[in-house]
Amino acid sequence: MHVIHVKGLTKRFGTLVAVDNLTLTVAKGESFALVGPDGAGKTTTIRLLCGIMDPDSGWGKVLTYDTIRETERIKDRIGYMPQRFGLYDDLTVAENLAFYADIYRVPKDLRRGRTKELLEFARLEQFQSRLAAKLSGGMRQKLGLICTLVHRPEIIFLDEPTFGVDPVSRREFWQILYQLQLSGITIFLSTSYMDEAERAHRVGLLHRGRLLLTDTPRSVRASFQGELLELKNAELHKIKKILDDHPLVQQTYLMGERLMITVDQSTRALATLQQYLAASGISDVILKTAEPGLEDVFVQIIRCREEETRSLEKGNTARPDKLADPDN
């Protein structure tokens, strides 16, 4: 059963197409991670799905309700945690939770029990009297999450929920999300962390408003074209330039402290490239094969898409030039 179903959803801001013809379904109980570079359209997509913003074209249904005409019904049954969740710094943890229970009209007789349960669930019970202003980043996110859960939503939309949070707190946040999943809640989140995307049932890659692929993390990783090498050395930029010209190298890109190199066949390339670099005066490299992760596939897909766009644009500009040329 699909609890999110959108077709051809498009949102423009002036001439910018923030979400471009988005078609997607998400099943009940699924966790779906939307990833993409800054400005790809993740926040806008979530806002469209929550019915906070209307699309220019296309349609969407969330829990069978129309995202344009039935937004009130949707809002009662979903939870939305925006990037900057509205916590009140001068209220305590428990008061923030009570405030959201009010907003969501949680029946008074249920509030006590639910507050206790949620505070326990997020392991925040011993901090319930602490002002929100005094919470760590990870605790703030957990409080934001339980405020989002106070009316027992069936789907939660989380916009970069662990952005800027330390890795340990991120892991703890995910333990909570796993428990929510077990209870049957559908989770739709945006993230720029690949380890987070790996934890979702399915991921979607958004680039310039377009959803370029959706699949399970495992299938995405398996779709990598070619084989991957990683290289470590202090002069990665210099080496990148040298390797970019080598016929065995399809693509190179920097990832943190490593240079990633896509080749057809890693065993052959390993020896050849090492020799090639040595002949160029670079010998102290650590070069080895690597398993492609989600980010490697996304880089490959986005590069490929950008090359297609560039060649299309070149094709388009070539025509007027030709027409303008009197010799042609």
Ligand X SMILES: Nc1ncnc2c1ncn2[C@@H]1O[C@H](COP(=O)(O)OP(=O)(O)OP(=O)(O)O)[C@@H](O)[C@H]1O
Q: Specify which residues 145 forms β-bridges with.
A: none
Nearer to ligand X, 93 or 200 (CB): 200
Q: Does 16 bind ligand X (CB under 6 A)?
A: yes
Stretch 28-67 residues interacting with ligand X (CB under 6 A): 36, 38-44
What's the gap between Cα 87 and its chain centre? 23
Q: Does 161 bind ligand X (CB under 6 A)?
A: no
DSSP for residue 304: H
Q: Does 15 bind ligand X (CB under 6 A)?
A: no
Nearer to ligand X, 18 or 285 (CB): 18
Record the tokens describing residue 172, joined without a space: 């703890």
Q: How many residues does the chain have?
A: 328
Q: Does 208 bind ligand X (CB under 6 A)?
A: no
Tell me the one-letter amino acid at 130.
R
Tell me the one-letter amino acid at 14.
G
Contact (CB, 8 A) for 146 and 101: no
CA neighbor of 98 nearest in space, from 140, 106, 126: 106
Q: Does 84 bind ligand X (CB under 6 A)?
A: no
CA neighbor of 197 nearest in space, from 31, 323, 10, 27: 31
Nearer to ligand X, 18 or 243 (CB): 18
Nearer to ligand X, 85 or 224 (CB): 85
Nearer to ligand X, 18 or 236 (CB): 18
Nearer to ligand X, 13 or 178 (CB): 13
How near is the Cβ of 131 to ligand X at its closest, in Å? 28
How near is the Cβ of 213 to ligand X at its closest, in Å? 16
Candidate segments 1-9, 11-19, 96-104, 237-245, binder of ligand X by CB under 6 A: 11-19
How near is the Cβ of 233 to ligand X at its closest, in Å? 32
How near is the Cβ of 43 to ligand X at its closest, in Å? 3
Contact (CB, 8 A) for 124 and 143: yes
Q: Does 162 bind ligand X (CB under 6 A)?
A: no
Q: Helix, strand or coil for residue 250?
A: strand
Pairing outcome for strands 186-191 and 31-35: parallel
Number of amino acids touching ligand X (CB under 6 A): 11
Q: Helix, strand or coil for residue 243?
A: helix
Q: At what angle do helices 266-279 and 236-244 cross, to 10 degrees?
A: 110
Contacts with ligand X, residue ranges (CB under 6 A): 13, 16, 18, 36, 38-44
